[in-house]
């Protein structure tokens, strides 16, 4: 149902890889000392996509001084407009042109949101050196070699690869190993100054992958919803705004080490997710008809039909892509949705409610152009979903 290539981009893969010595050790260093209430100078490498703007908004709200370094190719209109006119923006390419970062300027912290290749991380970390008081690298839970054990923490073995220099582009196979090696590159160049944050699936307003968004959008359409596995199947993801807040807190507190940034294990099930999506869909449709009278009431009600994983596999319905946010919690994925986040929570990770994430995501989705919403990037098409539901109905009738 789910291939290693399909799944590796957002969570860990099969345990076929060996860990690089020392890579996944639990880190418990002293925090970098900060002067209380003093605005910090923060350099953001990348930062124009999904997570970056949310971090910029949070940091600016707290009065910090920001510098963005990027190629100026992602969201150029937004970042050249009024919203970001007060933020210094440096142009360059971390692979070929870091000249804008040369000199004697210092930053209290560097946030590396675009760390995909270890050589790139080495290049930037080495150039900044002691001029970067703290180096925060955004990694991924995809670094882990084993996803079979519920409750596994940051000390778990991570992936590696023999020749990272040979990788010219990111694939499902090399994403996790390259992220793990990028973490190590930062730590090697800036020992004692590095903070590694490993998010799970990042969701919420602005997510361009449509993986999480599929579910609130689907519930808003109403009717019979095809749901995967069982309502009790666990899942994990993190609201982009909660992640941005945790990153900022780690910088303000000077926290170093390695942190899994994801939902609390066991806190979210597929059943609770779909229930929240049904509530959001019904409320959104009701509001729509208050603001502009509907010719006829929209289909605001929905039902959920849970279909077992083996039947979905037989119907060639894939986990994660066709059924986003879900992997059958068995075998090599028995620990899916249950990775420990205790260390991050102890260090200040806070969560908004699931309902708020769902509501805001649906509101954001509905504000997009109709042409964009007509071509979602994840999930089943209405026609395919209906066909699988018919097949399931016939199957249970014998």
Are the CB atoms for 361 and 212 separated by under 8 Å? yes
pLDDT band at 25 (very low <50, low <70, confident <90, very high): very low
Query: What's the rounded Cα separation, in Å, for the pair 144 and 116?
Result: 15
Query: How many other CB atoms are there within 10 angstroms of residue 65's CB atom?
Result: 16
Provide mean pLDDT across the span 91-105. 92
Pairing of the two strands 302-307 and 257-261? unpaired
Taking the model in full, what pTM does it have?
Answer: 0.88
What are the residues whose beta carbons fall under 8 Å from the beta carbon of 267, sequence distance 6 or more?
Answer: 351
Residue 79 is predicted with a pLDDT of: 53
Q: How confident is the model at residue 289 (pLDDT cuts 50, 70, 90)?
A: very low
Tokens of 388: 């699988």
Q: Give the pLDDT band of residue 284 (cuts 50, 70, 90).
A: low
173: confidence class by pLDDT, cuts 50, 70, 90: very high
Q: Is the pLDDT of residue 3 over 80?
A: no
pLDDT of residue 76: 54
Which residues on neighbouring strands pair with residue 88, listed in sequence order? 67
Q: Identify the band that residue 295 occupies on the pLDDT scale cut at 50, 70 and 90.
A: very low
CA 233/CA 229 separation, integer angstroms: 7
- According to the CATH classification, is domain 8-202+238-261 in 3.40.50.720? yes
Give mean pLDDT, residues 296-307.
74
pLDDT tens-digit readout, 218-253: 999 999 999 999 999 999 999 999 999 999 999 999
pLDDT per residue over 26-69, tens digit each? 334 457 777 657 899 999 998 778 999 999 999 999 999 999 99
End-to-end CA distance of the chain: 24
Q: To which residue do tokens 């953001």 refer?
A: 44
Mean pLDDT over each residue of the chain, to the nearest integer = 87
Q: Report the alpha-carbon distance of residue 183 to residue 190 in Å, rounded.
A: 11
Q: Is the pLDDT of residue 9 over 70?
A: no
User: With 50 as the cut, is the pLDDT of residue 187 above it?
Assistant: yes
Q: Tell me, what's the pLDDT at 115? A: 92
For the chain, the domains span 8-202+238-261, 214-235+267-338+358-397
Q: Report CA-CA distances (Å) from 168 to 46, 71, 120, 160, 171.
A: 19, 18, 12, 16, 9
Which has the higher per-residue pLDDT, 198 or 296?
198
Residue 13 has pLDDT above 50, yes or no: no
In which band, very low, low, confident or very high, does the pLDDT at 78 lie, cut at 50, 70 and 90? low
- The residue-averaged pLDDT of 117-133 equals 94
- CA–CA separation, 218 vs 231, rounded Å? 17
DSSP string for residues in 215-278: HHHHHHH-EEEEEES-TT-EE--EEHHHHHHHHHHHHHHT--EEEEESPPTTSEEHHHHHHHHH
The percentage of the chain sitting over the pLDDT mark of 90, rounded to a whole number, equals 76
Token digits for 137?
Answer: 């690298």
Q: Burial code of 337-358, b = ≥16 C-beta within 10 A, e = fewer? A: bbbbbebbbebebebeebeebb
Range with the poorest average pLDDT among 45-59, 145-159, 280-294, 362-376: 280-294
pLDDT at 46: 87
Tokens at residue 371, please?
Answer: 């042409």
Q: Are 303 and 224 in contact (CB under 8 A)?
A: yes
Sorted by sequence, the CB contacts under 8 Å of residue 234 that are 6+ apart come out as 265, 266, 268, 269, 270, 329, 336, 337, 338
Instruction: Check residue 294 and give its pLDDT.
Output: 45
């Amino acid at each position: 149902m789910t291939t290693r290539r399909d799944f590796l981009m957002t969570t860990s893969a099969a345990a076929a890889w060996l860990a690089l010595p020392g890579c996944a050790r639990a880190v418990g260093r002293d925090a970098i000392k900060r002067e209380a209430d003093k605005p910090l100078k923060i350099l953001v490498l990348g930062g124009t996509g999904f997570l970056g703007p949310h971090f910029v908004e949070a940091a600016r709200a707290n009065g910090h001084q920001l510098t963005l370094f990027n190629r100026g190719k992602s969201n150029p209109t937004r970042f050249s407009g009024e919203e970001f006119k007060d933020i210094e923006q440096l142009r360059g390419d971390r692979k070929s042109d870091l000249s804008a970062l040369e000199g004697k300027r210092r930053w209290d912290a560097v946030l590396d949101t675009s760390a995909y290749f270890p050589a790139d991380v080495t290049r930037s970390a080495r150039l900044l050196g002691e001029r970067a008081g703290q180096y925060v690298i955004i990694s991924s839970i995809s670094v882990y070699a084993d996803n079979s054990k519920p409750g596994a923490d940051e000390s778990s073995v991570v992936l590696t690869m023999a020749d990272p220099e040979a990788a010219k582009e990111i694939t499902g196979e090399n994403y996790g190993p390259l992220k793990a090696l990028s973490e190590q590159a930062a730590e090697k160049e800036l020992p004692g100054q590095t903070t590694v944050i490993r998010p799970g699936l990042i969701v919420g307003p602005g997510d361009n992958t449509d993986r999480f968004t599929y579910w609130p959008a689907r519930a808003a359409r109403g009717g019979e919803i095809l749901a995967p596995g069982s309502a009790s199947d666990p899942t994990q993801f993190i609201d982009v705004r909660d992640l941005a807040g945790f990153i900022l807190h780690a910088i303000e507190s000077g926290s170093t080490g390695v942190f899994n940034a994801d939902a609390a294990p066991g806190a979210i099930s597929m059943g609770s997710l779909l229930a929240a999506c049904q509530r959001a869909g019904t409320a959104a449709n009701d509001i729509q008809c208050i603001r502009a009278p509907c010719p006829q009431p929209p289909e605001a009600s929905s039902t959920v039909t849970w279909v077992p994983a083996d039947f979905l596999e037989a119907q060639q319905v894939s986990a994660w892509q066709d059924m986003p946010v879900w992997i059958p919690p068995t075998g090599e994925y028995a620990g899916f949705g249950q990775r420990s986040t205790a260390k991050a929570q102890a260090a200040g990770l806070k969560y908004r409610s699931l309902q708020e994430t769902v509501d805001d995501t649906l509101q954001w989705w509905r504000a997009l152009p109709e042409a964009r919403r007509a071509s979602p990037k994840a999930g089943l098409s209405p026609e395919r979903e209906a066909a699988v539901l018919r097949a399931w109905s016939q199957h249970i009738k014998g």
